[in-house]
Homo-oligomer: A and B are copies of this chain.
Amino acid sequence: MEERRQAAGSGLRGRYRAQVRDEIKQVALNQLAEGGPQALSLNAVAKTLGVSGPALYRYFGSRDSLLTDLVVDAYHDLAAALEAAVAKEEAGPAERLLALGYAYRAWAVGEPHRYRLLFRAPLHGYDAHSDPLVQASRLAMGVAVDVLTGLGDSGESPASTATRATTLWARLHGLVSLEIEGNFASMGLDPTPLYDAEIGALIEEGRR
């Protein structure tokens, strides 16, 4: 029996496997950045890598499986960026909240195709509420909750903290969504003051 199947990390074969998987994801991300999820084609990825067609199915069971992997990666990246931004220990709660907001924006503006991937994923046919996806999305949200827990009165109820975290999330998401689609640019508006105002208002609320 042995049941070894295709464990990823063990041995030389596993290393090679993981490396090829990363290469595939890298090329896929490039295609995504250029033409959006619609333009992500396994065939094109294979051609870029110099292999031909069905070879990729050794590494990803389907096109959607590859997409899901990219989404999960993006969630982890975003969460890491947010954590890094709020990790400065000397900063107070308000500063950390500002840093969180700016980090969120910077990540989204820097890689808009990946940000879209996070919030538009359900469109692409696969189940957006599958386990790894839900688990990954909680990561990013968890960072926000943590920061807000430090900001509010220590006696604040968890439910209230969750509500404020959600408000923060919604405001940031709203601004970011409009910004990366070019809605601000097409109106001749500078989005930066809007972020300042929205985050500032939340800090005020937290102190109240």
Main secondary structure, interface of A, reads helix
Is residue A177 within 8 Å, beta carbon to beta carbon, of the partner chain?
A: yes
Q: Which of B125, B134, B163, B184 touches A194 (beta carbons < 8 Å)?
A: B163
Of the listed residues A120, A162, A170, A186, the one surrounded by the most CB atoms of chain B closer than 10 A to its CB is: A170
| Chain B residues, CB < 8 A from A171 | 170-171, 174
| Chain B residues, CB < 8 A from A170 | 171, 174-175, 177-178, 194, 198
Given contacts A119-B177, A129-B186, A201-B201, 12 further A-B contacts (CB under 8 A): A35-B125, A36-B122, A36-B125, A116-B120, A120-B120, A162-B189, A167-B197, A169-B174, A169-B178, A171-B174, A174-B174, A174-B177
B166–A184 touching, CB < 8 Å: yes
A194 to chain B, nearest CB (A): 6
A194 to B189, CA, bound (A): 26
Is residue A152 within 8 Å, beta carbon to beta carbon, of the partner chain?
A: no
Copies in the assembly, this chain:
2
A122–B174 touching, CB < 8 Å: no
- CB<8 Å pairs between A and B, sample of 9: A36-B124, A39-B125, A119-B177, A120-B120, A170-B174, A170-B194, A171-B171, A171-B174, A177-B177
A73 to B40, CA, bound (A): 28
A35 to chain B, nearest CB (A): 7
Is residue A10 within 8 Å, beta carbon to beta carbon, of the partner chain?
A: no
